[in-house]
Structure 1
Amino acid sequence: MENAVFIGLSQQMALKRQLDITANNLANVNTTAFKSEHPLFEEFLVDNFDKPDMSYVQDYGSYRDLREGEMTHTGRPLDVAIAGEGYFTIESDQGVRFTRNGSFRLDPDGNIVTINGERLLDETGRSITVSLQFQDVSFAPDGTVTTGEGQTQKIELVRFANPQILKQVGDGLYDAEGADPEPATDAKAMHKMLEKSNVQPILEMTAMIDIMRAYQSAQKLIDSEHDMQMQAIQEMPTVQ
């Protein structure tokens, strides 16, 4: 009799995970270059000896929607979007990280940094620095950075054979977790533009409604099984 309860609870646990991911997608609908995530479920069969196998729901991971978000023109000289498959290389306090969020600024030393102060790196692994006397900066499609005094560096744009392995570590940054990046030869830097989030709010809201309905259905199953157990307990002394 308890099998239905266990199966219903496994479904609810998976639905809770799906709801958390959907809510996070909606919370980042306006986050620059954010990529929506979606859970992955599979059937988990338990051998029930001479009885039919029990089928549970197992949440075993998630995948990231890598489709490019809409490009928007901002006019800001330190905004750069990536068209195509690629990531900026960033130096953070925790080591090298990667991002598609190209909303940069200058720190007091003239380094091009993210909004949280992580430095943008060039192809040689050095920080990209701009003279504070010549703050006119331009970015060529190949990532070449040119300032008013003519100094040039080139942004390190990279890609990964399997970008799904990248782990989100917050603030739009990803950890490669040991995977080796390779040059993103097909990616282009789009100056004075930013990539919007690829979250589709209508679809996410619809998914949230479906999740809540599925959760309620599972709860009805659990409640029904509980009522049957209580009724059996009440009638058992009479049968004896």
Structure 2
Amino acid sequence: MMMIGLSQQQVLRRAMDITANNIANVSTAGFKAEQLLVEADPYTRARAEDGPGPLSYVAEWGMGRDFQQGPLEETSRPLDVAITGDGFFSLDTPQGERFTRDGRFSMDAAGTLTSANGSPVMGEGGAPITLDPAAGPVRILANGEVSQNGIVAGRIAITRFDDPGILSKVGENLYTAPDDAPRDFPQEALLRQGFIEGSNVRPILEITSMMEVSRAYSSITRMLQQADELSRKAIERLGRPG
């Protein structure tokens, strides 16, 4: 029972870390709430000399993410863009292609449209979108077309995955996907210029979850302390001379 309790504590600590990270990112553009997935450990057998059966250890099965759209927040910045519906912006990073819902874009000194971390935003056809810093206001249409003074500079590429669950988080609000992951490039994706997508974290639910995890952890700690005390007393009694 002691080992089962310890395995549960390890999982609860991990769940607390994830919940705390969700709360910390409640204001992060495009952030998707995460949740720990657990299961009974199918490989490690647990038993007790005098207790209920069967017993199972708790194991971390994986990470679940809520890819529902977050609220749109108006910024009025011409290079801020939000996706309405499914899909991700594609970025060209030194580590390869990465994906994000964070549309806080800017223009570097060369006129390249870049993401919040400085990576070029990919246009259709796989090339970055290059603008002229001196050519006037940038207009971004709902279909992703980017233009200045009526001259089209490119069209922002949107990538949609059949199963977003295959995406892996790699930091800086970015995701990576296997090269063979089924995907398409929806023509019907709509963009909103002057908006960003907010985090879809729901603070009240996360705080409630944090309280539940804390109570469960405290309960298991008390159980382990009581079991340890019973074991200690049993050893003391056995050690007394008869």
- TM-score of the two chains, using structure 1 as the length reference: 0.93
2: CA distance, partners of 1:108 / 1:214: 53
Pairing 1:213–2:212 present: no
Secondary structure of 2:240's counterpart equals helix
Which letter does structure 1 place at the counterpart of 2:70? G
1: CA distance, partners of 2:91 / 2:102: 11
2: CA distance, partners of 1:10 / 1:40: 14
Which letter does structure 2 place at the counterpart of 1:43? A
Residues 132, 188 of structure 1: alpha-carbon distance in 2 compared, 3 angstrom cutoff = same
- Structure 2 partner of 1:154: 155
> In 1, are the aligned partners of 2:46 and 2:57 still within 8 Å (CA)?
no
1: CA distance, partners of 2:46 / 2:214: 30
- Structure 2 partner of 1:191: 193
Structure 2: segments with no counterpart, 5+ residues: none
1: CA distance, partners of 2:211 / 2:164: 30
Instruction: Report matched runs for 1:8-27 at 5 Å.
Output: 8-27=5-24
* Pairing partner for 1:36 from 33, 36, 39: 33
Secondary structure of 1:119's counterpart equals coil
2: CA distance, partners of 1:175 / 1:135: 34
- Structure 1 partner of 2:229: 227
2: CA distance, partners of 1:126 / 1:180: 21
> In 2, are the aligned partners of 1:142 and 1:189 still within 8 Å (CA)?
yes
Which letter does structure 1 place at the counterpart of 2:5? G
Pairing 1:122–2:119 present: no
- Structure 2 partner of 1:163: 164
Secondary structure of 2:236's counterpart equals helix
Secondary structure of 1:231's counterpart equals helix
Structure 1: segments with no counterpart, 5+ residues: none
> In 2, are the aligned partners of 1:166 and 1:175 still within 8 Å (CA)?
yes
> In 2, are the aligned partners of 1:84 and 1:186 still within 8 Å (CA)?
no
1: CA distance, partners of 2:207 / 2:47: 38
- Higher mean C-alpha deviation, range 131-140 or range 83-92: 131-140
What whole-Å deviation, never above 9, does each CA across 1:142-190 have from its counterpart, x for those lacking one?
1111112513311110100110111111111111132243113342111
Residues 180, 92 of structure 1: alpha-carbon distance in 2 compared, 3 angstrom cutoff = farther
2: CA distance, partners of 1:225 / 1:50: 13
> In 1, are the aligned partners of 2:72 and 2:195 still within 8 Å (CA)?
yes
- Higher mean C-alpha deviation, range 133-142 or range 202-211: 133-142
Secondary structure of 1:120's counterpart equals coil
Q: How much has 1:239 moved relative to structure 2? A: 6.7
> In 2, are the aligned partners of 1:134 and 1:149 still within 8 Å (CA)?
no
Aligned alpha-carbon RMSD (Å): 1.8
- Higher mean C-alpha deviation, range 98-107 or range 145-154: 145-154
- TM-score of the two chains, using structure 2 as the length reference: 0.93
1: CA distance, partners of 2:67 / 2:182: 19
Q: For this pair of structures, how many residues does the alignment match?
A: 237
